[in-house]
Amino acid sequence: MLYDLHELQRAFLTPLAAFTDTGSQIFSHPYSPFAYTPVSRQIAATYELVHRLGKDYEKPAWGLPATEIGGRQVAVTEETVVRKPFCNLIHFKRERGANPAGDPRILLAAPLSGHHSTLLRDTVRALLPDHEIYVTDWVDARMVPAADGPFHLNDYVRYVQEFIRFLGPDVHVVSVCQPTVPVLAAISLMASNNEPCLPRSMVMMGGPIDTRESPTQVNRLATTKPYSWFEDNLIHRVPARFPGGGRPVYPGFLQHTGFVAMNPDRHLRSHYDFYLHLLKGDNDDAEAHRQFYNEYNAVLDMPAEFYLDTIKVVFQEHQLPSGTWEIDGQKVDPSAITSVALLTIEGEFDDISGQGQTRAAQELCSGIDQGRKEHYTAASCGHYGIFSGRRWRETICPKIGAFIRQSA
C-alpha cells in the first residue's frame, strides 16, 4: 500500500515538476523577454529549486565516452558481456590498440544498497587509463519479473564467483562498501574448493566486514530493531504497472529517505546554497549541485530477500567474522585464502562503515602472507571520499594501481 501511495504522490508531482521546469526556462533563457525583468533571477531560481525537489530521478548515464592514455584521448564504449536477471556485467571497452597489452583487468563490485552502480562513475574514470574495467551494474528489482524468482545475499556471492570465472584467474577484484562481504565470501569459498580461477588480488574499500568495530548510526539501526521489524515495516510489493509487479522489495524511496535523515541539516543547507548560487549566477557551483543530486536522488529497489539477508547475516549475527556463515552447506572460511593479495582501505571519518570494520578482513584472511597484505586509512576522508573526489583521484587510486601491479 505504501508503494502505491508513493506512486500516487509521484503522479501528483509530475505536472508540478514539468510546470516549474518550464517556468525556470521562461525566466532564465537568454532569448526569453521575461529573463530581463527585475526579479527574473529570483523567480527562475525558485522554479528550478521546486522542480528539482519534485522531479523523478532516473538512472544516470555513465557518461564516460573517452579516457586519456599516453597523453592522448581514446574512445571508450560500454558493452554488456554477461547478462543476469538482477545484474549485468559491464565492460568499459577502450579503443583497440590504445593501451599496451597486459593492462590489469579489474572486476569492480558495485554496491547493491539503494543507489545505481553509476555512483562509482568517478571510481571508473580514475581507473580507466591504466586498467581494463568491468563493473557489476545492478538492475532495479522493480524491473525484474517475479517469474525470475528471489535474489538472496548468497546469490550475490554466486554472481561474483561467476564473474570471476568469466574474467579468468588474472583478474583483480575491487569491492566498494557493501559488496566487500559477499566478495570476501565468494573468494573464500573458491579458495576452499581449490579453484584454479582465483583472482590475483582483492581490494576492499569502506565495507562492513565486521560491524562490531566502531558501530555507526547505520549499524545501530540494524541492531536496535528486531529482524521482524524490518520484515514488517520496510518490505513492500512492487505495483502492477512495473515489470516486477508483485515482487517484494525494499523500495529505493525508503532507502533515500534514510540517507537524507542521517544528515538533514547538510541537505537543507546544500539546497539553500544551490538557490544562492542561482541568484548570484555561480553556474559552476550550481552545476556541481545538480550533478551530485542527479546521482544521489536516483535510487533503485532492492530484492527483499537480499536486504533482509544482509540485515541478519552482516549486521545482526555477524556471521562472516564469527565463522558461522554457510552457503550451500559449506562454511565461509576466509583463512582458506592463501594466494590472493589483500588491500583494505578505510576513511578516517567514514560514518557508514566505521574504522576497523573493513580492516577486520586482515585478521580473517590469516592464510595470506603478511607481505601480501596492506591496509590504508585515508586521513580526513569520509565514506564517499574513499571512491570519489580529489582524495580518491590523487591518493587512493594511485595506491590501488600500484598494489595491483605489484600483485600481478
Does residue 306 lie within any of the structural domains?
A: yes
For 75, the enclosing helix (H) or strand (E) is strand 72-83
% of the chain at pLDDT higher than 90? 69
d(CA 164, CA 169): 7
Please determine, for residue 305, whether its predicted confidence score (pLDDT) is greater than 80.
yes
Quick check: 324 pLDDT over 70? yes
Residue with cell 601491479: 405
Cβ–Cβ < 8 Å for 344, 359: yes
CA neighbor of 162 nearest in space, from 176, 144, 178, 182: 182
Whether 33 and 76 share a structural domain: no
Number of domains in the chain: 2
CB 184 within 8 A of CB 209: yes
Q: Looking at the structure, do residues 50 and 90 belong to the same domain, yes or no?
A: no
| Separation in Å, CA 174 to CA 40, 46, 203, 346 | 49, 42, 5, 13
Claim to verify: residue 176 and residue 313 sit in the same structural domain: yes
Same domain for 333 and 204, yes or no, is: yes
Query: Is residue 239, in this structure, part of any structural domain at all?
Result: no
> Are both 17 and 102 inside the same structural domain?
no
Which residue blocks in 148-212 are alpha helix, DSSP H? 153-167, 180-192
Please, which pLDDT band fits residue 378 given cuts at 50, 70 and 90?
very high
Residue 221 dihedral angles phi and psi, to the nearest 5°: -60, -40
pLDDT in tens, 38-51: 888 999 989 898 88
Name which residue leads in pLDDT, 345 or 32: 345
pLDDT average, residue stretch 146-151: 96
Residue 201 lies in a domain: yes
pLDDT of residue 199: 97
Q: Which amino acid is at 220?
A: R
Strand spans (E) along 84-218: 87-94, 105-109, 132-138, 171-176, 201-205
Examine the domain organization and report whether 27 and 81 are in the same domain: no
Strand-pair partners of 133: 92, 106
**Domain end position, chosen among 56, 80, 97:** 56
pLDDT digits (tens, 9 = 90+) for 197-217: 999 999 999 999 999 999 888
E strands along 13-71, which residues? 66-69
Q: Mean of the per-residue pLDDT values for the chain?
A: 92
Q: Is 203 helix (H, G, I), strand (E, B) or coil?
A: strand
pLDDT value at residue 97: 52
DSSP state of 297: T
Assess whether 34 and 183 both reside in one domain.
Answer: no
**Residue (of 155, 389, 407, 183) closest to 288 by Cα position:** 389
* Predicted confidence (pLDDT) per residue in 87-102, tens digit: 999 999 987 655 555 7
Looking at the structure, tell me whether residues 326 and 206 fall in a common domain: yes
Residue 99 lies in a domain: yes
Same structural domain, 28 and 129: no
Domain interval for residue 38: 1-56
CATH number of the domain enclosing 192: 3.40.50.1820
Same-domain check for residues 119 and 145: yes
Q: What pLDDT was estimated at residue 96?
A: 60
- pTM as predicted: 0.91
pLDDT at 294: 86
Q: Which is higher by pLDDT, 340 or 219?
A: 340
pLDDT at 281 over 60: yes
**Residue 142 and residue 73 share a domain:** yes
Whether 162 maps to a domain, the answer reads yes
Rounded distance, CA 272 to CA 280, Å? 13
Tell me whether residue 249 is in a domain: no
- Collapsing DSSP to helix, strand or coil, 182 comes out as helix
Q: Is residue 370 part of a domain?
A: yes
Q: Are residues 128 and 198 in the same domain?
A: yes
Q: What ranges in 237-364 are assigned the alpha helix state H?
A: 252-262, 264-280, 283-296, 304-310, 319-322, 360-364
Question: CA–CA separation, 47 vs 257, rounded Å?
Answer: 23
Is residue 76 situated within a structural domain?
Answer: yes
351 within 8 A of 217, measured Cβ to Cβ: yes
Torsion sign across C-alpha atoms 99, 104, 109, 110: negative
Q: Which of 56, 76, 100 is the last residue of a domain?
A: 56
